[in-house]
Structures are given as C-alpha cells and as structure tokens.
Structure 1
Amino acid sequence: MTLSFPWLDLWSEVRTAGFIWQAIAVAASILLSLLLSRLAVRWGSAQSRTADPEASQAWSVHPVLWPIAAFALLAAARMVFLKWQPAPLLTLALPIVGSLALLRLVFYLLRRVFMRNGNAGGLLLGFEKVFATLVWLGLAIHLTGLLPDLIAYLERTSIPTGRYQTSLLVIIQAIASIGATLILALWLGAVLEERLMKVSTIHSSARLVMARAGRASLILVAILLSLSLAGIDLTVLSVFGGALGVGIGLGLQKIVSSYVSGFVILLERSMAVGDMVSVATFYGQVTRINTRYTIIRSLDGIETVIPNDILISGAVQNHSLSDRKLRLATRVTVAYETDVEMMLPKLVDVIRDIPRICQDPAPHALLTGFGVNGLELELGFWIEDPENGKGNLLSLVNRTIWRVLSEENVRIPYSQHEIRMATNVPQSFPSPELSSIKQ
C-alpha cells in the first residue's frame, strides 16, 4: 500500500503563476457563490412576502446554496485550467467544498422533514453528528490517497447471503443509495404536503389523502430505485412480500383495518378537521386525521387518540357535518301563579342580545310541562361556534334568566321535606331498638 498525498503537488507550484491564478479562482468562486446565494435568498424572500408569508421559511437556505454554487464554480474552473496546465489547488479544494455542500444539503433536507415546532430532536442531532463524522473521515481517506485501496478491499471482502456472495462494497452502496433516495423522497413528500395544504379549492380530506398517498408512493419508488441502483435483484422481494401478506392477514388485522378506515373516512368526507364530534364518551374538535388514528381535542384541552376502525364500526355524532349550528337549551321551573304569557317573550328578548346566540333560527321559549312543584319552562337557542364551548354560554344565559326572574319577583319553587319525630310508639309494634335495649 502506497500513500499519495494530493496536496504534496502544491509545493512545487506555490511560487508559480499557475498557483496564483488557481488561488484567485478559488477565492472568486467562493465570493461569487456567496453573492449569488444571498441574491437568490433575497429574491425568494421578496416573492414569498408578496405571495405567501408562510413560504418565507422555504427560502432560508443560504447555508446550503453557497457551498453548492461554490462546488459548481470550482468544478468549472478546474475543467478550464486542466486544458492548459495541472490544477492541484483546485483538485484539493473541490472535494473539501463538495463535502461541505453534501453535509449542508443533507442537514437541510432532514430538518425540513423531521423538525417539528422549530426544534431538532436528540435522535436527529445524533444522526447529523454521525453522518458528519463519516463524511469528514471519507474526505480524510481520499486526501491521504487510501480511497482506491479501501475500495478494492471492500470489493474483495464478501459476505454470504444465502446462495450468493455479496461484497461489502455492494452492501455499503445499497445502504447509501437507500438512505439518499429515502431522504429525497421524504423531502419531496413534505414539499408536496405543504403545497397541497395551501390549495383551498380542494377539500381538506382530499388534500390529506393525496398527501399521504403521494408520500407513500415516493417512499416505495425510492426503495425500489435504490435497490436497482445497488444491483440487487428485485425478485428476491417476492418471498418477503408473501411473508408480509401472511403477517398482515394474521397479526396486523386491527392495524390494517385502522389504515383502511382512515382512507375511507377521508374519501367519503364524513368527518373533517375542525368538526365537532361525539364518539362514545368523548366530545371535542377533530384536530388531526391520520391514516391510522384520529385525534379529538375536548374543550378542556385533553386530546384523545381514537383508532379509525372505531369511527367506522361505531356511531359518531358529527355536530358540524352539513351545518355548524348547534341547539342548546336550559330549563327552569316557576311557580304556578306566574304570568307565563308575559314571561316567555321577556326571556327571549333578554337572551337575544347575547353575542354568540344566532338570530336565525331565533331563540324561543316553551312551556314544556306541569310539574309537581310548578310550571316547567325551556329556553332554546342556536350557536354557530360549538368549538368555543357550551358551558360558558349556558352559564351566561342562566345568569341572565336569574336576573330577569329576580326583577319580576317570580318565585322559583323547590321541594320541601317535612320530618316528624314519633314520640308514642305503639306497644303492638315495638321498634327493634327498644327491644334490644330491654334485653
């Protein structure tokens, strides 16, 4: 094994005019790439502010653009120099800038896919550190001249896989191609989902179906393409496909049922994000519909994860499927001497001015029955924003009713219980307590 250091060729040309021109080309490429990337980011930010303010995050790619542009400019300069003279400085700078561009590009794609709420998780940061270490280690091996020998060693070393022998080089190439295509597919899926969510002319359920199906299709195509690029015969996946089918049929029935139910819910549009629903003992707003489960957020802030097969097989009350208006009612019992013909219109008039109560349909008051203690009245009204809660509005209506009844001196009857203490106990029916005392 012979070590060859590419940068040793620089010493013989340090004081030559060719080296100076190469240094000028490197500096000019870096400065021009910084300028071009800054102009591109500024133009993209201006376009996003005029079109869609939320799209400005997509143009925060200055750390990615300039090393890619610098790599392209250095490659072009090297091709020009090699026509007249050797270019050791450009040959040395090209892999260094290329490694930096690769790191920045991969980090950008990963953070666009996996970062949530602007915070990178520990697993993502750990992967970035490992990937950066591998890239810089590979660059060091390349600069020391050990890369051809390492490739030859990996190609000679084989691992038995059934009846075949697979070299380590093919395995590493397969892992690298799968990783690269998966990252690219996930990034394209995230971009596709962002674009679809902004199309207001398509129903939200249809947008979710298209986004989920597009991401799944991109991942499948990425895996098949990466395996083909690595030289792996795709017919070996037939056994895996058969085993997967048996596993789905036997052990994954509930999961598959939830996934199929999720697509059915999204396609038939029986439920959408923002609807107020009641499922079993849960009531709240649908905040997310995934392919396997649906999240319902109750009015007290508690989020419930419900598998989609429950929503398909059970009864679901959708309070805002075709009309978001919801009827609420409160009841009160008044004394029999109350002038009902005067009180009912007065109660309707006092709650009509409450902001959240609809005017169409208008509030109404009813005499629903003759109770044991008094006349039973019901005051009904409609609202259009059930997601803002019902308890606070019912409390306000009840306080308004109480104030009107107090002003009109209307008596609210209530049950009274009279307790009498028996002093003379008949001798023929002695109580158990007295019998025990006598004994």
Structure 2
Amino acid sequence: MDISKLENFFRYDLIKWLHELQRSIVKDFFSWHGAIEVVLVPLIFLIGRLFHKRITPKIEASIKNKLPKIVRESLFIKTFLKQIGLIFTVLLFKMSVFIMVSQHYKPGLLVVAGSLTAAWVIIKIASSLVMNQFWARVISTTAWVMAALNVFGLLGKTVAFLDTVGFVYNDKNLSILVIFKGIILLLALIQVATFSNKIAQEKIVKSHSLSPSLQVLLSKASKVGLMTLAVYLGLKGIGVDFTGLTIFSGAVGVGVGFGLQKVISNLVCGVILLLERSIKPGDIIEVGNARGKIKSLNARFIAMETFDKKEYLIPNDSLITGQVINWTYGDNSVRLRIPFGVAYSTDLREAMKASEEAALTVSGVLMTPAPVCRMTGYGASSVDFELRIWIDSPEKGTGRVKSDTMLAIWDSFKEKGIEFPFPQQDIYIKNLPPMVEES
C-alpha cells in the first residue's frame, strides 16, 4: 500500500473538492437562478410522479393484448413500466436545462439531478436482466454510486484511491479496486453460468433419449461444472494463483474427508444410483416399513412421498447398502395377493371361479395376466385361498384396488350363497357330576 498516495488523497484531493463544492453552492444556489433550481427539482419529481400514476396504467392496458404473456410478465417489462414516471422526469430535467441554457444561464443542480435520475433509470432497467434479485440490487446500487461519483467528478480520484489500498499476495498487488473488479467479473460469470445451465437443463429435460436418472445426473453435473468454471475464472481474473494453494488444499482435504466422511459417502452413492439407474423419479419403492413414490433424487438423499402424503428423506448410502424393493424397476405391473377363506361345505371350484370373475369387474385390475385363485391350505375353520391379481398403476396406490376387489368377492359370494366362515367352537361334556338334591 502506498501511504503517500493515501495521504495525498485525504489531505489534498478530497479537501480541494469540498472547497470547490462549497464555492459552487454559494455561487449557484444563493442567487435567483439557484432558488429557481431548488424549487424546480422537487416540482419536476412531483410532476413525474403524477404522470406515472395516470399514464402507466393506460400503457399497461394497451400492451396487454399486444404482447405475449411470457414477454408481458417478464421482469424487464415490469421494471420498465415502473420507471416510466422517472423517464418522463428525466425528459423534464432535459427540457428545463435547455430552457435555462437558452437564457444564458448554466444550471448546476438541474444537471446533477437529471444525470443521477437518468443513471438510476438505466441501471434499474439493466439490472432487471440479472436473475438473482439480491445481486441485482447490489449491482444497481453500486453502479448508481459510481454514476454519482462521475457526475461530481470524483470517479477518477476514487478509483485511484481504491487502487492504493490493498495487500500483496504471491508477489501481486491485490488492491480494493482489483478485488472489486474481480467480484464484478465473478458475478457476471455466475450469471452467464446460471443462464447457460438453465438452457442446458431445458434441453436435457426435453430429450426423450435420456432416462430420468441420466437427466438428473447430467443436470447436476452441468450446474456444478459451470459454477466451478465461473468461480475459477473469476478468481483467476483478480490474479489468484492456485499453485500456491495445492499443499494447503491437500491438507484441508484430508481433514475435511475425515470430518465429512458420511456426507461424501452419500454424495458418491448418489452418483452411483444415477449411473446404475436402479431407481429414478416416479418409481414406487419400499424401504423398511415405508413405501411411496420417489419425488426427487438429490445429492445426499432421495425424497420419497408415501400415499398418505408423508415425505421421507432417505440417505443415498442406505439405498446402496440396505434392502430396497422397487415395485416399478423393470415393469409397472405389480401383483397383489388377496387371501380369503370359505366354509368346508362350499363347492371349492365354484368359489375359485367366482372370485376370479369378481376381480375382473374391478377398475384397475388387468385382464392380462388374468386373475388367478389358488388354494393354500386347510384352516381350522375354513378352506384357505389366495386370489392373485395384476395392476399397472401402483403409483396411484394399491389399497383402493385391493379393497374394491374384496368387496366384489363379498358381493359375488353373497349372490351365489357361498359362506364366509368364522371361528366356532363346540363343547362336548362326556361325564357330568351326579346331581345332589337339596333337602
């Protein structure tokens, strides 16, 4: 850091500018023309505000049916409509300056106010193209401050001052100005990377040749790769040398590896799941006692929503090392087993045929493969059977189909007089104790 330049800035340049500003205020504003300017500035802003309230709604109504909805609702158009009043205000400032110059008077306050207002309008409209609202506000505020410094003639001196304040890294002078330029470059590169990633993801999603798992993998790889490249180029832009960080990053990497072992394991398992395509968004899986539909595949976990709208966040390594039932891995068709029993006095073959025919009347049961009834055993109070049916939409739930099928069997058996047994016990008393007569 050059201390002499820093002292000169505060001791001479800044004090000189303050004296010039003081003389300008005394000369320009303590006069009839200066008083007129002081009155005109708030009046012009008031007229611009009234113009905005009256004219902007009419402009919005006129473009409502002329522009496509996606253009009409874009942030750029909305920001432009909000600045119509200030645009008119800038025009009023320009007209006022022109009139006063024609009267052989050079206005100062009107020029400053008009220039700052024009800079604000241009910056606000331009910053609407930035996707992130926080960074849009930061960029617009910073740009307006720079415009203000330029209007007052301080931009060059401020830039020179910022270039003297900093530190030396790896034989390179990293001043505040250099760091500031690097941040601007980094933000610009991140915006370009975000926009490019959005286009890439749209292309990936629309590609019918890619599986859902591969789409997720490519989307995440695109986002990480573009953001990493943006950060690398941004840091390179301010002169950061990465070769000096090799040893340090290696030591930090070992420490982080031990501390984040579980996290890294989940990240690696997530990549394996995407590459193997063993599960994908939309699959119906069963993990432990939970069964539901996969909503999304994330870096560390998957989000599974059960049929009662509960969401489970399951770590990726649990899916790799544990047992997972994927109901829709190879085919969406799923077989359901419905056990039931009939009385021993029933015509068993008729009961089997009736249950199969009843299942075919249920919405959601496939005709091919057809329902099949199998006898499974002789129970204590019934002859036991198992009806096996196939459905092709397990993501809509299996409980409804199973319930409807059991009701259909109930109705069919009632109609045909087939009895559903229930546990009964008969008590036989072989020997009764002799009756004792009461005297």
Common fold by TM > 0.5: yes
Q: Kindly indicate whether residue 401 of structure 2 is the aligned counterpart of residue 399 of structure 1.
A: no
Which runs of structure 2 are paired with 1:223-372 in the superposition (5 Å)?
223-372=231-380
SS in 1 for 2:251: helix
Q: Kindly indicate whether residue 230 of structure 2 is the aligned counterpart of residue 222 of structure 1.
A: yes
Q: CA RMSD in A?
A: 4.2
Kindly, what percent of the aligned residue pairs are identical? Answer: 28
Deviation at 1:350, TM superposition (A): 1.8
Match of 1:102 among 101, 126, 134: 126
| Gap regions ≥5 residues in structure 2 | 1-13, 26-32, 34-58, 83-110, 434-439
Deviation at 1:103, TM superposition (A): 1.8
Deviation at 1:247, TM superposition (A): 2.9
Which runs of structure 2 are paired with 1:11-410 in the superposition (5 Å)?
61-63=76-78, 95-106=119-130, 109-110=131-132, 124=134, 129-159=137-167, 166-410=174-418
The more displaced of 348-357 and 130-139 is: 130-139
Give, in whole Å, the separation in 2 of the partners of 1:57 and 1:382. 50
SS in 1 for 2:180: helix
The 1:281–1:394 alpha-carbon spacing in structure 2 relative to 1, beyond 3 Å, is same
The 1:133–1:92 alpha-carbon spacing in structure 2 relative to 1, beyond 3 Å, is closer
Give, in whole Å, the separation in 2 of the partners of 1:312 and 1:294. 12
The 1:60–1:385 alpha-carbon spacing in structure 2 relative to 1, beyond 3 Å, is farther
Give, in whole Å, the separation in 1 of the partners of 2:283 and 2:159. 58
Give, in whole Å, the separation in 2 of the partners of 1:188 and 1:357. 46
The 1:63–1:230 alpha-carbon spacing in structure 2 relative to 1, beyond 3 Å, is farther
| Gap regions ≥5 residues in structure 1 | 12-34, 49-55, 68-87, 112-123, 426-439
Deviation at 1:386, TM superposition (A): 0.4
Q: Is the 8 A contact 1:99 1:139 kept in 2?
A: no
Deviation at 1:411, TM superposition (A): 2.3
Instruction: Please list the CA deviations of residues 262-311 of structure 1 after superposition, one character each: whole Å capped at 9, or x if unmatched.
Output: 11111111111111111222211111012221111111111111111111
Deviation at 1:131, TM superposition (A): 4.8
Give, in whole Å, the separation in 2 of the partners of 1:247 and 1:182. 29
Instruction: Please list the CA deviations of residues 320-365 of structure 1 after superposition, one character each: whole Å capped at 9, or x if unmatched.
Output: 1111110112111111000111121122112202120001100111
Deviation at 1:61, TM superposition (A): 4.6
Give, in whole Å, the separation in 2 of the partners of 1:43 and 1:176. 33
SS in 2 for 1:416: coil
Give, in whole Å, the separation in 2 of the partners of 1:293 and 1:60. 34
Structure (1 or 2) with the larger CA radius of gyration: 2
Q: Is the 8 A contact 1:325 1:382 kept in 2?
A: yes
Give, in whole Å, the separation in 2 of the partners of 1:272 and 1:131. 40
Q: TM-score, normalised by structure 2?
A: 0.71
The 1:288–1:42 alpha-carbon spacing in structure 2 relative to 1, beyond 3 Å, is farther
Q: Is the 8 A contact 1:110 1:187 kept in 2?
A: no
Instruction: Please list the CA deviations of residues 30-85 of structure 1 after superposition, one character each: whole Å capped at 9, or x if unmatched.
Output: xxxxx9xx99x97877xx9xxxxxxx899775357999xxxxxxxxxxxxxxxxxx
Q: Which letter maps to 1:271?
A: I
SS in 2 for 1:367: strand
The 1:362–1:58 alpha-carbon spacing in structure 2 relative to 1, beyond 3 Å, is farther
Deviation at 1:101, TM superposition (A): 3.6
1:432 corresponds in structure 2 to: none
The 1:110–1:283 alpha-carbon spacing in structure 2 relative to 1, beyond 3 Å, is same
Give, in whole Å, the separation in 1 of the partners of 2:369 and 2:138. 64
SS in 2 for 1:105: coil
Give, in whole Å, the separation in 2 of the partners of 1:64 and 1:166. 36
SS in 2 for 1:156: coil
